[in-house]
Structure 1
Amino acid sequence: MTGARTQTGESVAAAIRRALLTPEPRAKVFAAREVARNWRLGRLAWRFDVAMPDRPAWPDRPELLAPNRMPKRGKAGSERGRIALWHALAHIEFVAIDLALDMAGRFGAAAGRALVDDFLSVAADEAMHFALLERKLRRLGSHYGALPAHGGLWQAAHETRHDVRARLAVVPMVLEARGLDVTPATRDRVRAQGDEDGARILQRILDDEIRHVRFGTRHFVQGCEKAGENPPECWKTLVKRHFRGALKPPFNDSARSAAGLSREFYAAVASGANARLPHNT
């Protein structure tokens, strides 16, 4: 069993917390990948002896702005527009490292080893995605932190910090699932601009995100079944309560289905009957 070969040494919780509190982007990439590797190799003890921070450590740059204060990206295909696109994607993946780490560290003790296995592997994937995107930015003559970034991406984690099913419902099954919807069109647009390297990066991210959504959906369904609740109905209730945003079609049904996220979950949204789910203010 993964992570079961040692009960001494550093705890998995302490290793995760240290990665979360690493602010410098490249150092966070290395820290996340090291935690995942050490856990996989059985070098971390199954102990949750430290609490996760309320917010991870982040660098001074990029400046984090509210969505309505974010500058326009610029014309698609222009140098400014290309840099803005890759910077926005890099920021999403950077925050995703911490979202996956926090999932494992905050909920692993109660949820069990399988969740820790899955989400530490997700953290390693997100770290790799960020590294690819940051390298892409540098090839374009820029770098992560050169532009402002969306300041609300951690809000979903804060909203769901006390409920693993709410976290699973919102982060993998809404936010990452949305990536399944929009990434193919972005990939195709990038390829049409002659950027085959960028298209390959986006395809790699898409392939990995299908697996990430599958992990989230599987753990969510198992949690609902254990509690004797209907998974799609429970998902709708939790998303209404905790997700501050809109769920808008069109949806990539084939990718969502490959991830185990059937239309039974979002059929009302897909039909347009409930395109904006209400939320608490």
Structure 2
Amino acid sequence: MNKPRAGERSLAAAIRAALVECEPYRKVMLTRAAARDWRAGRLAFVFDVDMPDRPGRPEAPELLPPNRMPKRGRGNSERGRIALWHALAHIEFVAIDLALDMVGRFGAEMGEEFVSDFLAVAADEALHFGLIARKLRSLGSFYGALPAHDGLWESAHATRHDVAARLAVVPMVLEARGLDVTPGTLVRVRESGDENGARILERILDDEIRHVRFGSTHFAAVCALNGESVENHWKTLVQRYFRGLIKPPFNDSARQAAGLSRSLYGGVAMSEQDR
């Protein structure tokens, strides 16, 4: 195994330090520093430490199974707004670890372009979390005030052994779902008069298109290397590792921009009649 030169820190050590950090704002800072140091050439392309099975988590929020999560409800009440932004904060917080683990677990086999892409994703997710945490504070709340679920990390753990499975499920299913639901949330937030919140969601949607595109591009590269059909292999992996349902409505234009054709996900999606 390669070792860093004297005085040089390994990429894996920087990634692991951010992953195991429990305090949210410290995790954000360590993540952004790792991405910055990689871009500046201050981290060695060396994987000399293993990634943790689970990332560091703060004492709050309480993590519940998805089926035990309280209903967020609809409407524009103060409680409903806080619940919405808290749920979004948790998604972005876990997304930091998903991107970091992608780099730390698979970067050695996938190469430097893969590392650069997913460290950029991690830095984006850290920025998103910071924006939403600030939004929560403006509403008189904070991240950890409400329970959250751990389903996103369960998908990462299930695919920890196979980069193709991880790419198929995390960016190409879980993050792609954000492309479908964020526009509707954005419209509701803007109609409520919350222009600051709408701008945050616009930024997230723009970034997530790029994140999903990284996933679909690297998945296609893995398939080409192994002589696999992109569509067939993706469908096989999703059916094997994704426990949920891929259901309409779809944001086809955003998915297309992210490298997801309708023929790819249409074959495994629920029909409108099945919903």
TM-score by length of 2: 0.96
Residue in 2 that maps onto 1:44: 43
Task: Quote the Cα distance in structure 2 between the aligned partners of 1:59 and 1:132.
Answer: 19
Cα offsets for 1:222-262 (capped at 9, x unmatched): 10011111001100000000001010011100000001111
CA-CA distance at 1:149 after TM superposition: 0.5
Change in Cα spacing, 1:230 to 1:62, as seen in structure 2 (3 Å) is: same
Structure 2 unaligned blocks of 5 or more: none
Residue in 1 that maps onto 2:93: 94
Q: How does 1:132-281 map to 2 (within 5 A)?
A: 132-270=131-269, 272=271
Task: Quote the Cα distance in structure 2 between the aligned partners of 1:257 and 1:102.
Answer: 26
Task: Quote the Cα distance in structure 1 between the aligned partners of 2:172 and 2:116.
Answer: 18
2:53 counterpart of 1:54: yes
Task: Quote the Cα distance in structure 2 between the aligned partners of 1:51 and 1:275.
Answer: 43
Structure 1 unaligned blocks of 5 or more: 1-5, 277-281
AA aligned to 2:197 is G
Task: Quote the Cα distance in structure 1 between the aligned partners of 2:174 and 2:251.
Answer: 13
AA aligned to 2:198 is A
AA aligned to 2:12 is A
Task: Quote the Cα distance in structure 1 between the aligned partners of 2:272 and 2:239.
Answer: 14
Change in Cα spacing, 1:271 to 1:66, as seen in structure 2 (3 Å) is: closer
Residue in 2 that maps onto 1:104: 103
Cα offsets for 1:77-97 (capped at 9, x unmatched): 000000000000000000000
Tell whether the 8 Å contact from 1:246 to 1:275 is kept in structure 2 after alignment: no
3-state SS, counterpart of residue 26 of structure 1? helix
3-state SS, counterpart of residue 134 of structure 2? helix
Task: Quote the Cα distance in structure 1 between the aligned partners of 2:240 and 2:228.
Answer: 17
- Note the aligned Cα RMSD (angstroms): 1.5
Task: Quote the Cα distance in structure 2 between the aligned partners of 1:159 and 1:275.
Answer: 27
Task: Quote the Cα distance in structure 2 between the aligned partners of 1:114 and 1:182.
Answer: 29
Task: Quote the Cα distance in structure 2 between the aligned partners of 1:114 and 1:273.
Answer: 39
Tell whether the 8 Å contact from 1:249 to 1:275 is kept in structure 2 after alignment: no
3-state SS, counterpart of residue 152 of structure 2? coil
Task: Quote the Cα distance in structure 2 between the aligned partners of 1:274 and 1:223.
Answer: 35
Task: Quote the Cα distance in structure 1 between the aligned partners of 2:155 and 2:269.
Answer: 22
Tell whether the 8 Å contact from 2:246 to 2:270 is kept in structure 1 after alignment: no
Tell whether the 8 Å contact from 2:245 to 2:269 is kept in structure 1 after alignment: no
Residue in 2 that maps onto 1:122: 121
3-state SS, counterpart of residue 198 of structure 1? helix
AA aligned to 1:77 is N
CA-CA distance at 1:72 after TM superposition: 1.8
3-state SS, counterpart of residue 154 of structure 1? helix
Change in Cα spacing, 1:271 to 1:38, as seen in structure 2 (3 Å) is: same
Cα offsets for 1:123-182 (capped at 9, x unmatched): 000000000000000000000000001122200100000000000000000000000000
Change in Cα spacing, 1:173 to 1:7, as seen in structure 2 (3 Å) is: farther
CA-CA distance at 1:271 after TM superposition: 7.2
What's the % identity of the aligned pairs?
69
Task: Quote the Cα distance in structure 1 between the aligned partners of 2:77 and 2:271.
Answer: 34
